[in-house]
Amino acid sequence: MKIKYSSFHLPFEGSAKPALPEDDVLRFYSMRFCPFSHRVSLLLAAKQIPHHKIYIDLIEKPEWYTEYSPLGKVPALQLTQVAGQPALVESLIIAAYLDEQYPQRPLFSRDPLQKALDRQLIDRFAAVVSAVYPVLTCNPNAPPDALQNFELALDVFEQELIKRGTRYFAGEQLGIVDYMIWPWFERFPSLKYNTEQGYELDAKRFQHLLKWRALMLQDEAVKFTATDVQLHVKFQQSKLLGKPNYDVAFQQ
């Protein structure tokens, strides 16, 4: 997959704005290990949209970054081709904008009801994320029933795939639900290395989701934006030590 993009890494507080060309190319503010940023990366790749990618250190954020993201969060997307160059924040808002503005390979359903149902399903994934997050981030104070609650929340998506009876949540081709939940499925295998029991998804309980995961791994956008599981493990372990190493992906 070929996408025209450039990347800039800002490792410390007080850093100056990167010297970006005034070329009307989208500016995507990201963090390599942020799953919400990963969502936007997937859409930019799937639609092959040129962009400049600027990595933000979320601990020592550049002071100027609040011009684009008032709360200092990633992702943010600066629309350089629009008057005033406004910036969008929140991954699903950015995804909806990109899908309408760049209609090649549409990802949201054009049926209003199905589009609403898909957004509703994406919202339900928040229960999966909140349940597994303490374990995924190596929090020593993770609730003892965190993985149990994670599996209960994930059951909804296993049953939804069965109900839809399709290869992907969108049908026979990938769609917005597939891309919006994928970043966490890339990260779930790190649980095998970051939990005492070497946790993995139950092959029988989640057989449809595991088949879906195998199909997703063949997608070009998924491959293009992928981060190796061992890098995820190293990053999460650095967080456990209280010193998140945002540069670990650049130290290979």
Question: Active-site residue numbers?
Answer: 34
Instruction: Give the closest residue to 218 by CA, choosing from 176, 165, 182, 164.
Output: 182
In whole angstroms, give the CA distance from residue 252 to residue 249.
Answer: 7
* Count of other CB atoms within 10 angstroms of residue 172: 7
Give how far the C-alpha of residue 204 lies from the chain's centroid of Cα atoms, to the nearest Å.
Answer: 26
Handedness of CA 122, 128, 132, 134 (dihedral sign): positive
Handedness of CA 192, 140, 156, 225 (dihedral sign): negative
